[in-house]
A and B are shown apart, each in its own frame.
Chain A
Amino acid sequence: MIRVIVYLILGLILTMFEATFINYLPIDFFKPDLGIPFIIYTTFFLGPEAGLITSIFIGLTQEIVSSSPSGSLLFTKVSIFIISVFMRNKIFIDSKYSFSFVCSGAVLVESFLFFALTFLARGESRDAFNVAFYSIPNAIFTGFLSIFLFSLIGFLNVRYLNRQ
């Protein structure tokens, strides 16, 4: 349980950091989703309960710092969690690179879900082009950063969290 709380807090801090400090960097074209790696990690390695808690909290936090239609980011995050639960026995994450690959895929799936939402929700379809335009850069950059996040989580596990 301690591990879930640590990763959840880390994910929330990084999400808030992204909203407040990252606007000083010129990376608007490829904005990473720093919540996805934590949802994937907790679901794959700590179980569905941990994944559900993480996806709900990260989804709610992103709702707070985004002007997206209410509930849409929570919906996409929980959908990513559900898909991850089904993929747990089909995909094997054995290195930081396979983790990065899965995270990139999750960002693409999230973009696709949002893309579908914009067409299903009448009046919101003006966002569709924007979502499509940014989906691949976002996925690539999130995948790149998730390599470091996986290493960080590995370091935390070895140094502090496996001693319990």
Chain B
Amino acid sequence: MSVTCSTAISNRENADLRGKLDKLQLENQKIPELEHENKRLKTILNLMEQHPKTMIAARVIGEDVKNWFKCIILDKGKSSGVTIRMPVVTPRGLVGQVVETDRWVTKVMVINDTNSSVDIYVEGRNTRGILEGTGQTLLRLKYIRKNDEIEIGDKLITSGKDGIYPKGLAIGIVTTVNRNKPGIFSDIEVMPFNNFNRLEEVLVLRK
């Protein structure tokens, strides 16, 4: 009788411990994601501390309902001091500019939108061009002459001459340079530093 009783108690304890183990394993699975989020937020916080009162941190809450346009929606609006044409960045580099702002939300045109153009410098070289969005992952660098200094792997930064983006923001890296085409300009493709499909937090720069 007592053996049956103790077996029943052991079985119950066993079931309880299994339940606790499952719960702990489930919580454990969340740790890498939390660590990742913590790292991301710390980077943003560091950047904000370097330039206090010039940045507004915002969370990405949505994206364009059509894939014809590349736009993201932020959870900050006019009530937080966001106005149109403000540049949007992440610690990795440039994201885009504010094109529409409401009281609580903001629409940002990402630099790979077909309507986006950014005046850029090639870092460390005396080369300047216009970076245009293609609607795809890669961006197209235009108006670089065939005899201008540019190579695969060169880093692009904003020139500050377009009146929207401040000087020195990182944008991306040159992935292809094609000089074997008719005309005076090279055909150049650029991979942006940011993955625009995976943005979670961004910083809006006050002008």
Contact = CB atoms under 8 A, between A and B. Distances in A.
A47 B66 CA distance: 27
Interface string A19-35: 11001001011010100
Interface stretch (B57-65, B147-155, B179-187): B57-65
B115 interface: yes
Interface in A130-149: 130-131, 133-134, 138
Contacts, number: 69
B66 A68 contact: yes
Contacts of B62: 19-20, 23, 65
A18 B65 contact: yes
B114 A28 contact: no
A66 B66 contact: yes
Q: What size tier do the contact residues of chain B reach?
A: 20 to 34
Interface string B92-124: 000000011000000101000111000000000
Interface residues of A, number: 26
Contacts of B74: none
11 contacts: A19-B65, A19-B73, A29-B67, A62-B66, A65-B65, A67-B100, A127-B135, A130-B114, A130-B134, A133-B135, A138-B67
